[in-house]
Amino acid sequence: MFLTGGCRMKVARRALGSCIILFVALAFASSIFAQAETEVETLEGVQQETAPGEAVIQAGSPEQVAPTEPEARVMPTGSAASVAPEPAVPTEAKPTEWVWGEVVSVDAANKQIVIKHLDYDTYEEVQTILKVGDKTLFENVAALGDIKAGNHLTADFKIVEGSNVADLIVVEKDAQR
């Protein structure tokens, strides 16, 4: 039996539509099964078979005893197995703060700059001492000795052991004249 051109197109569209619907249904069903399988795996770690009269300890309950030391990882080698220590947890990076103000004084011997600026929390004029370290970068000046009282600058700094240590000091070009 031969179909005419218009009928062939209708049959082809229906077949294509059926294939797309079937594909979407299979994708949906597989995602549901994958989710259910993950839930079963997590439940297997929590559930334990108990004899009559025994209590089941839930994860996170006060009765659960946590290990006091992290588990060591054993790495096989040609000779005896060695224990690899856990990598050190990096400390939280301190946020970089900034200040813009007028230089009150420069102490090259102690590598410090005193800056007068507005405290935006209290709206009062305050003075801040910045320590200049070996890693401090300068912009528009070559070194600490080129900064003079009365210059305006912007500084990025971090608070390290109670001191404001400058990372970057940018002296305004107009203030250098």
> Looking at the predicted structure, is the pLDDT value of residue 135 above 60?
yes
**What is the average pLDDT across 105-119?**
95
Query: What stretches of the chain adopt beta strand conformation (E)?
Result: 73-75, 82-84, 97-107, 112-119, 124-139, 152-160, 163-171
Instruction: Break the chain into its structural domains and give their ranges.
Output: 97-176
Q: Give the pLDDT score at 15.
A: 75
Contacts of 124 (CB under 8 A, 6+ apart): 118
Cα separation, 23 vs 12, in Å, equals 16
User: What is the pTM assigned to this prediction?
Assistant: 0.47
Between 76-80, 84-88, 125-129, 150-154, the lowest mean confidence (pLDDT) is in 76-80
> Looking at the predicted structure, is the pLDDT value of residue 70 above 90?
no
How much of the chain, in percent, has pLDDT values that exceed 90?
A: 42
The CATH number that domain 97-176 falls under is 2.40.50.320
Q: Give the pLDDT score at 68.
A: 54
pLDDT, tens digit (0-9, with 9 covering 90-100), for 53-67: 555 555 555 555 555
